[in-house]
Structure formats: C-alpha cells, structure tokens
Chains A and B, each alone.
Chain A
C-alpha cells in the first residue's frame, strides 16, 4: 500500500495568514484527495487533484480559499488562505491505489492538525 507523508504535522497560525500543507506519496498515483476533519466532526472532501488538470472542488469549497497544486504523480499541496478560527481542523491527504484486484482502495496520510488563533 502507498505510504503517505504530510508536512507539517501540526501548526498554530494567526488569523489572516495562509498555510501550505504538503503531501508526498512513495509511489506514482493518479488521483489524490484532500479532506477536512473539523473538531469532533467527520471527514469532508475538499477537492480531488489529478496531475495535469485543475483540481475539482466539492460544494462549499472554492479555489481562492483552498488552492491546490499537483505538479507530479507523487506530490500535492493544499493552501488554506486568509485563515480564520473556523479553519481549525485536521487536513488529510489521501490517494487511490490499485490493490491487485479489480478494486482500488483509498489510503490516508497522517493528517495536519491546524489551529488558527
């Protein structure tokens, strides 16, 4: 299975600033996803990032607030822009990978815990 790392693992930021989260995978993958897990809540998909194309955002999420880059098949970044305390969450990167059967699985990174003051 894919091994996924994220940087930073956690950060405390001031209101109005921006933070870029990095996601690195140890193998080439086509599809990468970014999720948000607000305190005590479930995971919500922010966007799907495919290499070579614009990210596709879910309802309620916009590119100006959460710009995403996907420069190659092993790396992606998510920026949380103009942060407010409501952006305090865990942000998770995930990838879809084949498992040798006809079915692909989604593997998750360890997450980035963001606190906005």
Chain B
C-alpha cells in the first residue's frame, strides 16, 4: 500500500539556519503530495502542496518540489524562525483531491533563538 517516510526527529536548529526535512513516498498511482504543520496546542494546517511531478509548493518561506524520479518531497526553508517550531507531517493522497490522506510519522522541529 501507499506509504510516506520522513526523516527521524526531533530536529533542533538555531534561528536563521537552513532547514531540510526529508520525505519519500511509495504509491501505486500518481499521488498528490502535502506538507501539514501542527503548531503547539493547535490543529493540523495545510502548509503547502504539489499535485504533479516537478510542481513546487511554497508558503511562508517553505518550499517543496515534487520529484517523481526520486519519489521525494523534501521540505526546505532558507532561514528558520523560532515561530517555525512545530511538528511537520508529509502526506500523500493517491486519489484526485485530498481524499484519504496517508501521513508520515511527523518530524518535531525546535528552533532556538
């Protein structure tokens, strides 16, 4: 079945550091890919998405490019802030739209001032 694998956490960085959170996937079809973020004490929010190969999703300074050849969707940000501290989930949907999301295990990110 479909699956998503994220890099092991937790990740701790200093403010203004470069961030990469790796995400790879296995899917039978042509999935849509997502990054969700869960800030402390808050619900899950969509951060960015890409619906086809070579698409780049971006939001709030975060970017991720849908790489079909490497089945990856790594999350990057050039300069992180303390407010980026959260848990990040990579996810896929193997159906058109956002139905039946399959999530990775989540990566807890802590940014120190």
Cα–Cα, bound, A4→B45 (Å)? 12
In the bound complex, do residue B98 and residue A43 qualify as a contact, i.e. CB atoms below 8 Å apart?
Answer: no
**Shortest Cβ distance from A44 into B: residue:** B103
Main SS at interface, chain B: loop
Q: Annotate A72-96 by CB proximity to B: 1 below 8 A, 0 otherwise.
A: 0000000000000000000010001
Say yes or no for A55: interface residue by CB 8 A criterion: no
In the bound complex, do residue A104 and residue B98 qualify as a contact, i.e. CB atoms below 8 Å apart?
Answer: yes
In the bound complex, do residue B100 and residue A45 qualify as a contact, i.e. CB atoms below 8 Å apart?
Answer: yes
In the bound complex, do residue B97 and residue A42 qualify as a contact, i.e. CB atoms below 8 Å apart?
Answer: no
Cα–Cα, bound, A103→B34 (Å)? 13
Measured between beta carbons, the chain A residues less than 8 angstroms from B97 are 96, 103-104
In the bound complex, do residue A103 and residue B51 qualify as a contact, i.e. CB atoms below 8 Å apart?
Answer: yes
- Pick from B32, B44, B105: contact of A41, CB under 8 Å: B105
Say yes or no for B69: interface residue by CB 8 A criterion: no
Measured between beta carbons, the chain B residues less than 8 angstroms from A44 are 103
Cα–Cα, bound, A87→B45 (Å)? 24
In the bound complex, do residue A42 and residue B104 qualify as a contact, i.e. CB atoms below 8 Å apart?
Answer: yes
Cα–Cα, bound, A111→B45 (Å)? 12
B→A interface (CB under 8 Å): 32, 36, 42-46, 49, 51, 89, 93, 96-106
Would you list the 5 A-B pairs with minimal beta carbon distance, nearest first? A106-B98, A104-B97, A108-B44, A110-B43, A42-B103
